[in-house]
């Protein structure tokens, strides 16, 4: 028995000492991208959800348990977007380092004022999120706040490299501040314009750039578009002269194309996540692409 224990503890010791870099798990690719900005090559990063799949419904794969078991830091949204798949993974991962309240746990929604918090929670309204709309990272100002959280967490867990993380955060902040001027200028001519979207993922983006993304192909969040609802949408789009329909990689693009044909609007491929559409391997490049694509469509 002692021998077995000895062998086991040797295996554990090996497993522990092998990790020179900080093991970081991000539930979603946007958090992963911010973690990479801050952590650079000092972290080993695992992103659970794919950039192209619906973040509401990710399979709780057993391999995720292994990643979470080994994590020094976990970054999740904290706004119930991952509610359908993260809890059983965390139950099984049994990793006290990433419990809520520990420095190894970043809940990105901390300190963020979520928009569209429902006053009444009823599923008759579709897949509403009780804490508010969880698709917040697409606002660059919010992204900075999340990156700062991440830098603080990394510094707390890996104090030796605190200066490195802090410097990277500052670099990111400066880059975003500079970029915002350009993005703001590009979007300036379209202030107050109405834009349609397949799903209500864009209130934060709209708020930042002064748009009204308020017509949705889904009759209610998560409910597939019905013909009668689409008829209403087409009428509304024509009345408001809406020129663009935002779709994400996992939405049924054919439905958006059909609506586009009836209204003369353009289908614009958007993604909340870096990597969800081509040429968006970093957060800054994602917003670059989103802003320029939307501006092209609205011209």
- Candidate residues 21, 44, 152, 258; the one interacting with other proteins per rule CB under 8 A: 152
Q: How far apart are CA 256 and CA 69, in angstroms?
A: 41
Chain positions 25 to 64 lying near other proteins, rule: CB under 8 A, are 50, 52-54, 56-57, 59-63
Q: How far apart are CA 276 and CA 269, in angstroms?
A: 9
- CB within 8 Å of 35: residues ≥ 6 apart: 24, 26, 43, 45, 73, 75, 150
Pick left, alpha or beta for residue 242 (phi over 0 → left; psi -120 to 50 → alpha; otherwise beta): beta
- Candidate residues 21, 40, 222, 257; the one interacting with other proteins per rule CB under 8 A: 222
- Candidate residues 166, 167, 212, 262; the one interacting with other proteins per rule CB under 8 A: 212
Chain positions 253 to 292 lying near other proteins, rule: CB under 8 A, are none
User: 88 or 264: whose CB is closer to other proteins?
Assistant: 88
| Residue 210 makes contact with other proteins by CB under 8 A | yes
Closest CA to 204 of 113, 72, 73: 113
| Residue 100 makes contact with other proteins by CB under 8 A | yes
| Residue 208 makes contact with other proteins by CB under 8 A | yes
- How many residues of this chain interact with other proteins, rule: CB under 8 A? 90
Q: How far is the CB of 16 from other proteins (least distance, A)?
A: 9
Q: How far is the CB of 207 from other proteins (least distance, A)?
A: 5
Q: How far is the CB of 260 from other proteins (least distance, A)?
A: 19
Q: How far is the CB of 156 from other proteins (least distance, A)?
A: 4
Chain positions 168 to 207 lying near other proteins, rule: CB under 8 A, are 173, 176-178, 180-181, 183-185, 188, 191-192, 203-204, 206-207
| Residue 142 makes contact with other proteins by CB under 8 A | yes
| Residue 139 makes contact with other proteins by CB under 8 A | yes
| Residue 85 makes contact with other proteins by CB under 8 A | yes
For 93, counting Cβ atoms within 10 Å of its Cβ (0-12 exposed, 13-18 middle, 19+ buried), the class is buried
| Residue 153 makes contact with other proteins by CB under 8 A | yes
User: 107 or 236: whose CB is closer to other proteins?
Assistant: 107
Q: What angle do CA 206, 118, 27 make, to 5 degrees?
A: 65
- What is the sign of the dihedral through the CA atoms of 148, 33, 89 and 142? positive
Closest CA to 133 of 56, 190, 32, 74: 56
CA distances from residue 253 to 133, 217, 257, 264, 267 in whole angstroms, order as listed? 23, 11, 6, 15, 8
Q: How far apart are CA 93 and CA 235, in angstroms?
A: 50
| Residue 17 makes contact with other proteins by CB under 8 A | no
| Residue 127 makes contact with other proteins by CB under 8 A | yes
- Candidate residues 131, 167, 230, 297; the one interacting with other proteins per rule CB under 8 A: 131
């Amino acid at each position: 028995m002692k021998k077995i224990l000895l062998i086991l503890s040797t295996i554990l010791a090996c497993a522990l000492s092998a990790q020179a870099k900080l093991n970081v798990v991000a539930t979603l690719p946007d958090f992963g991208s911010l973690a990479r900005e801050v952590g650079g090559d000092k972290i080993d990063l695992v992103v659970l959800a794919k950039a192209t799949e619906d973040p509401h419904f990710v399979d709780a794969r057993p391999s995720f348990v292994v990643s979470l078991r080994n994590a020094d830091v976990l970054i999740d949204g904290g706004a119930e977007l991952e509610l359908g798949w993260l809890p059983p993974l965390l139950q099984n991962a049994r990793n006290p380092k990433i419990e809520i309240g520990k420095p190894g746990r970043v809940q990105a929604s901390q300190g963020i004022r979520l928009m569209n918090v429902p006053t009444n929670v009823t599923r008759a309204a579709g897949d509403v999120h009780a804490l508010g709309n969880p698709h917040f990272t697409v606002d660059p100002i919010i992204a900075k706040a999340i990156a700062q959280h991440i830098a603080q967490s990394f510094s707390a867990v890996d104090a030796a490299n605190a200066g490195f993380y802090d410097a990277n955060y500052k670099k990111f902040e400066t880059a975003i501040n500079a970029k915002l001027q350009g993005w703001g200028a590009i979007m300036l001519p379209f202030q107050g314009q109405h834009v349609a979207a397949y799903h209500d993922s864009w209130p934060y983006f709209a708020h930042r750039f002064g748009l009204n993304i308020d017509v949705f192909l889904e009759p209610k969040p998560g409910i597939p578009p019905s013909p009668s609802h689409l008829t209403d949408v087409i009428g509304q789009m024509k009345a408001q002269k809406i020129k663009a329909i935002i779709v994400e990689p996992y939405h049924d693009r054919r439905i958006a194309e059909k609506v586009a044909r009836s209204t003369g609007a353009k289908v614009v491929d958007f993604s909340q996540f870096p990597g969800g559409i081509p040429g968006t391997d970093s957060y800054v490049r994602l917003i670059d692409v989103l802003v320029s694509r939307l501006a092209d469509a609205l011209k």
